[in-house]
Structure 1
Amino acid sequence: MLSIYNIIIKFFGFAIKIHSLYSQKSHQWIHGRKDIFFRLEKEITNNKNIVWFHCASHGEYEQVNQLISEYKNNFPKDKILLTFFSPSGFNNVKKNNCIDWIFYLPLDTQKNAKKFIKLVMPKKVFFVKSEFWYNYMNQLSLYKIPLYHISCVFDRDKFSIFSSFSTEILSKSKHFFVQDKNSLEVLNSINIKNSSITGDTRFDSILENIKNKKEDQRILEFCLDKTTIIFASVWPEDEHIFKKFIKENSQYKFIIAPHELNYCKNISKLFDVELYSEFDTLSEKNILLINKIGILKNIYKYCSLAYIGGGFGKGIHNIIEASANLNPVIFGPNHSQFIEAKDLIKINGAASVNNYKEFLSQFNKLNSSFNKKAVSDYIKDKSGATDKIIQHLKV
């Protein structure tokens, strides 16, 4: 199985090089890794007490940023290396008082993993959510460097497909901080006992952001005179929902935030929009298009209801940010991997829809039956994962 894995990794590297010829994102993925070992050696060699956090993308960073901050507060002598797989993280997260270095993660080949670990020599490593890279995990195990997994979720049906190979990979890790009981039972079923239920660190990061009360004057000005509905993290697959609704409901104002910025051009052809980057308070347009990454989390508080995209594709995006700001939330059918989606549906805080007709029905239903107190209590009850992880690390 390892040989098959390595063939797949090498094929992926080759494929993304081809794709980079006509894809800006793939080009950034390739270009950002150019001379990466030279830069790593120049900046990191001879540094001690390095703790390595790895995230797939910007979304996973938002999930773990509060943990990084608390880790630095509790272990101030340690230096933080943050790596990303995707350009969405690398391009939009900057060094700060907690983060000392930010790099792309070199492709998980045996050669790259050996070279990376030998150069960095971290004292601890944290992989966030669904990041499982066999060659890196193997090298960390060989050097006896503890690897922790943060806010991970394991599905019994999907996990069993590669159970023997997965068991070999996961057995190399120090500890799993999982989100729910089902994930704990999946690990226990393959005799991995070094795990505990801590919940999802996203709740802590989101509540901390809300507590900071960062205002966005442009959004505030736009939303002042009408009820505002936000369509967030949307893809072309979500168009059959938001396109018709916006055109038929001029009594509202709308904010559209695409998941990928290159989708802005297509949306601009569908509607007469005001770009966030060019916002004019004198504008009479009722559609604001967000063409900037990293600000979505500060927008929900100005809105009355949120539709979160991705549910008609690979899976819904972050719904916790909208719910924590006490927005009723609607999303597409592909949400089975998201515990919070199932929980919020049960307490009348969210709804899943399969088509436009169902969207209209749930829009009206949630506007009248949204259980604000239940959602608020749920968000508070789910917080605390960060503190549980920090306390575990102190032992």
Structure 2
Amino acid sequence: MVVYSLLLALGLVLSAPWWLWRMATSGRYRAGLAGRLGIVPPSLRQAVKGKQVIWFHAVSVGEVVAASRLIAQLQEAFPRWVMVVSTTTMTGQKIARERLGKAPVFYLPLDFAWAVRAYLRVLQPRLMVLMESELWPRLLVECERAAVPVAVVNARISDRSFPRYMRLRRLWRPLLRKVTIFLAQGQETASRLVAIGAPTERVRVAGNLKYHNGTPDMGASSITTMLQGLVSDRKLVVAGSTLPGEEEMLLEAWPGVVAQVPEAVLLIAPRHPERFAEVMRMVDGSGLRSYRATEMQQEKPEEITAGSVVLLDTVGDLATVYGLACVAFLGGSLVAKGGHNPLEAALFGVPVVMGGSYENFRAVVDGMRAAEAIRIVTREQLGDALVELLRDGQEMGARGRTEYRKQSGAVGRTVTVLLDLLEVMD
């Protein structure tokens, strides 16, 4: 751990000029700086004073949403306990504050002993719950030192990261033995965890928390409600979590789609909020009629022109906006970034289109492909696939929803294990 800490400190020093520049130019990088350095916010101290605590860590939006489902059920079991949530990103913070109500939310401290210990001293958690693949070495070491059990839930090791873990498995093996229980999304991840050093008896398959019964429990946002009234007589394509390069592909294909389905409307939701302005300029430059969701909220247009493009320039609304779609395109898949989660659209019975890069969600996509519930396309095939599914995509959408329901139940299984773990630790 000494070498790890020295390398982390060296990296921090060498990157300091870049961080200082980013902090000077963007509030995103200034947010929570004191907390990251181990200065526990006074509000957090007050919230946990004299209380039993469970600490959840969720890196960003998707993990926060999954964690919120566990928190809701654990809060019912322990109404007097405090569930605290740390995140890494600003968008994760925003969604956590919106979804979790009174639950204290803060930034994860840097992975230095002094910073992590400061939080453990104040929180004294009964349990640490890490979402997906948030395996911070110093955090694991300090939790063991403080006798805090650690559960890694919705555990996932992607195709891209597995070779890196394998190369370093001699270093990972002692760290993974500090985790009390791993609850994997699927058998593939469970096998990979064992391969890199997790004790076999501590690894279980609980399923994917993002397969969740029903529709999103966040309620329809004002943006979603507004759009619902405007697209009722349109055929909406929602392109969610798009990354650089994909917007150009969508805009390139769109005139051909509109030529065959004149009532179609394209909604683009970039993955990263800092790209909203860039993507809006791109849409405006395409010559297509364009709208910006936040401006529409203020201007209250009576309709959306057929064939136009809408930019969803908000955070946290995409999950419910998928419910308005006739077809969904999942971003990060036509560029080599591993794809994004198709389940958010599948739960609404919306047919899903993705590119060939989906290794981040391979098990999910493979299951949907086997059920003929998703369409994998190249850039050249994108437009034709959208047209085909806009005209006749209901059966594929229904198969996607059926596949989604088959896989649900992970929340209940995960909560049961966590409750058993807390009982054992009493």
Does the aligned pair in 2 maintain the 1:137–1:169 contact within 8 Å?
Answer: yes
Change (3 A) 1:288 1:364: closer
The CA RMSD over aligned residues, in Å, is 2.7
Q: Which residue of 1 aligns with 2:424?
A: none
Query: Per-residue displacement from partner, 1:210-241 (whole Å, max 9, x unpaired)?
Result: 69677833111221222111111112221232
Q: Which residue of 1 aligns with 2:286?
A: none
Query: Per-residue displacement from partner, 1:151-172 (whole Å, max 9, x unpaired)?
Result: 0123554431111111111110
Does the aligned pair in 2 maintain the 1:13–1:107 contact within 8 Å?
Answer: no
Q: Which residue of 1 aligns with 2:168?
A: 162
Does the aligned pair in 1 maintain the 2:230–2:302 contact within 8 Å?
Answer: no
Give distance in 1, aligned partners of 2:20 and 2:366: 37
Q: Which residue of 2 aligns with 1:257?
A: 269
Change (3 A) 1:363 1:283: closer
Question: 1:57 Cα deviation (Å)?
Answer: 0.8
Q: Is 1:335 matched with 2:358? A: yes
2:290 to 273, 288, 301: 273
AA matched with 2:59: A
Which TM-score applies when normalising by structure 1? 0.90
Change (3 A) 1:292 1:331: same
Give distance in 2, aligned partners of 1:24 and 1:329: 41
Change (3 A) 1:78 1:211: closer
AA matched with 1:167: R
Change (3 A) 1:27 1:15: farther
Q: Aligned pair count?
A: 393
How does 1:46-65 map onto structure 2 within 5 Å?
A: 46-65=49-68
How does 1:135-174 map onto structure 2 within 5 Å?
A: 135-154=138-157, 156-174=162-180
Q: Which residue of 2 aligns with 1:114?
A: 117
Which TM-score applies when normalising by structure 2? 0.84
How does 1:1-395 map onto structure 2 within 5 Å?
A: 3-4=3-4, 6-8=6-8, 10-12=10-12, 15=15, 18-22=18-22, 27-34=27-34, 37-40=39-42, 42-44=45-47, 46-94=49-97, 99-154=102-157, 156-189=162-195, 190=197, 191-204=199-212, 207-209=214-216, 216-250=224-258, 251=262, 252-271=264-283, 272-279=289-296, 280-285=300-305, 286-311=308-333, 312-338=335-361, 339-355=363-379, 357-364=380-387, 366=389, 368=392, 370-395=395-420
Does the aligned pair in 2 maintain the 1:16–1:26 contact within 8 Å?
Answer: no
Change (3 A) 1:179 1:84: same
Query: Per-residue displacement from partner, 1:119-152 (whole Å, max 9, x unpaired)?
Result: 2211111000010111111000011111101101
Q: Which runs of 5+ in 2 are unaligned?
A: 284-288, 421-426
Residue identity (%):
16
Does the aligned pair in 2 maintain the 1:17–1:30 contact within 8 Å?
Answer: no
Query: Per-residue displacement from partner, 1:20-61 (whole Å, max 9, x unpaired)?
Result: 524789643343122562425743563331110001012210
Does the aligned pair in 1 maintain the 2:350–2:398 contact within 8 Å?
Answer: no
Give distance in 2, aligned partners of 1:52 and 1:145: 10
Give distance in 2, aligned partners of 1:376 and 1:239: 27
Q: Which piece of structure 1 moves more, 89-98 or 152-161?
A: 89-98
Change (3 A) 1:217 1:24: farther
